[in-house]
Amino acid sequence: MKNPIENLNKIFDSRIRLGIMSAVMVNEGLNFNELKELIEVTDGNLASHLKTLEENEFIKVKKGFIGRKTNTTYSITKTGEKAFRTHLEALEQMIRKLG
Protein backbone atom coordinates (compact mmCIF):
# COMPACT_ATOMS: atom_id res chain seq x y z
CA MET A 1 0.00 0.00 0.00
CA LYS A 2 1.11 3.50 -0.79
CA ASN A 3 2.24 5.59 2.12
CA PRO A 4 -0.38 8.32 2.65
CA ILE A 5 2.31 10.73 3.79
CA GLU A 6 3.36 11.03 0.15
CA ASN A 7 -0.01 12.56 -0.62
CA LEU A 8 0.37 15.25 2.00
CA ASN A 9 1.06 18.53 0.39
CA LYS A 10 4.22 20.19 1.67
CA ILE A 11 2.70 23.60 1.05
CA PHE A 12 0.03 22.89 3.64
CA ASP A 13 2.55 22.08 6.38
CA SER A 14 2.28 25.60 7.65
CA ARG A 15 -0.57 26.39 10.01
CA ILE A 16 -1.02 29.76 8.35
CA ARG A 17 -1.21 28.44 4.78
CA LEU A 18 -3.57 25.69 5.90
CA GLY A 19 -5.69 28.32 7.64
CA ILE A 20 -5.86 30.51 4.55
CA MET A 21 -6.88 27.55 2.40
CA SER A 22 -9.58 26.44 4.87
CA ALA A 23 -11.04 29.92 4.97
CA VAL A 24 -11.12 30.43 1.19
CA MET A 25 -12.59 26.93 0.72
CA VAL A 26 -15.84 27.97 2.41
CA ASN A 27 -15.95 31.64 1.42
CA GLU A 28 -16.36 33.11 -2.03
CA GLY A 29 -13.78 35.78 -1.40
CA LEU A 30 -11.98 37.16 1.63
CA ASN A 31 -9.95 40.33 1.83
CA PHE A 32 -6.60 40.80 3.46
CA ASN A 33 -7.94 42.20 6.74
CA GLU A 34 -10.52 39.48 7.14
CA LEU A 35 -7.84 36.83 6.70
CA LYS A 36 -5.53 38.64 9.08
CA GLU A 37 -8.21 38.73 11.76
CA LEU A 38 -9.12 35.08 11.26
CA ILE A 39 -5.63 33.69 11.30
CA GLU A 40 -4.15 36.15 13.77
CA VAL A 41 -0.85 36.89 12.08
CA THR A 42 1.17 39.96 11.24
CA ASP A 43 0.75 41.69 7.87
CA GLY A 44 4.16 40.68 6.58
CA ASN A 45 3.76 37.08 7.61
CA LEU A 46 0.33 36.77 6.00
CA ALA A 47 1.49 38.51 2.82
CA SER A 48 4.40 36.11 2.34
CA HIS A 49 2.19 33.04 2.83
CA LEU A 50 -0.40 34.44 0.43
CA LYS A 51 2.38 34.97 -2.10
CA THR A 52 3.45 31.33 -1.84
CA LEU A 53 -0.13 30.13 -2.36
CA GLU A 54 -0.57 32.51 -5.27
CA GLU A 55 2.65 31.35 -6.94
CA ASN A 56 1.42 27.78 -6.71
CA GLU A 57 -1.86 28.92 -8.28
CA PHE A 58 -3.86 27.69 -5.32
CA ILE A 59 -5.49 31.06 -4.80
CA LYS A 60 -6.31 33.92 -7.12
CA VAL A 61 -6.02 37.56 -6.26
CA LYS A 62 -8.49 40.22 -7.31
CA LYS A 63 -7.59 43.83 -6.81
CA GLY A 64 -10.43 46.26 -6.39
CA PHE A 65 -11.39 49.47 -4.69
CA ILE A 66 -13.77 50.44 -1.91
CA GLY A 67 -13.96 54.19 -2.40
CA ARG A 68 -10.33 55.19 -2.68
CA LYS A 69 -8.92 52.39 -0.58
CA THR A 70 -7.61 49.32 -2.29
CA ASN A 71 -9.44 46.14 -1.48
CA THR A 72 -7.71 42.94 -2.48
CA THR A 73 -9.76 39.78 -2.25
CA TYR A 74 -8.46 36.24 -2.31
CA SER A 75 -10.38 33.22 -3.54
CA ILE A 76 -9.59 29.60 -4.23
CA THR A 77 -8.73 28.22 -7.68
CA LYS A 78 -9.71 24.84 -9.13
CA THR A 79 -6.12 23.68 -8.63
CA GLY A 80 -6.18 24.85 -5.04
CA GLU A 81 -9.45 23.11 -4.32
CA LYS A 82 -8.13 19.85 -5.76
CA ALA A 83 -4.88 20.08 -3.81
CA PHE A 84 -6.76 20.83 -0.61
CA ARG A 85 -9.07 17.85 -1.05
CA THR A 86 -6.16 15.53 -1.75
CA HIS A 87 -4.45 16.82 1.36
CA LEU A 88 -7.60 16.20 3.44
CA GLU A 89 -7.88 12.66 2.11
CA ALA A 90 -4.26 11.99 3.00
CA LEU A 91 -4.86 13.27 6.52
CA GLU A 92 -7.90 11.04 6.77
CA GLN A 93 -5.88 7.99 5.73
CA MET A 94 -3.19 8.79 8.25
CA ILE A 95 -5.74 9.02 11.03
CA ARG A 96 -7.28 5.70 9.95
CA LYS A 97 -3.84 4.11 10.24
CA LEU A 98 -3.36 5.50 13.71
CA GLY A 99 -6.68 4.09 14.87
Residues that bind another protein (CB under 8 A): 12-16, 18-19, 22-23, 25-27, 30, 34, 37-39, 88, 91, 94-95, 98
Given the complex with another protein, which of 27 and 86 has the nearer CB atom?
A: 27
CB 78 to another protein: min, Å: 19
Of 10 and 68, the one with the shorter C-beta distance to another protein is 10
Closer of 22 and 56 to another protein (Cβ): 22
In SS3 terms, the chain reads as CCCHHHHCCHHHHCHHHHHHHHHHHHCCCEEHHHHHHHHCCCHHHHHHHHHHHHHCCCEEEEEEEECCEEEEEEEECHHHHHHHHHHHHHHHHHHHHHC
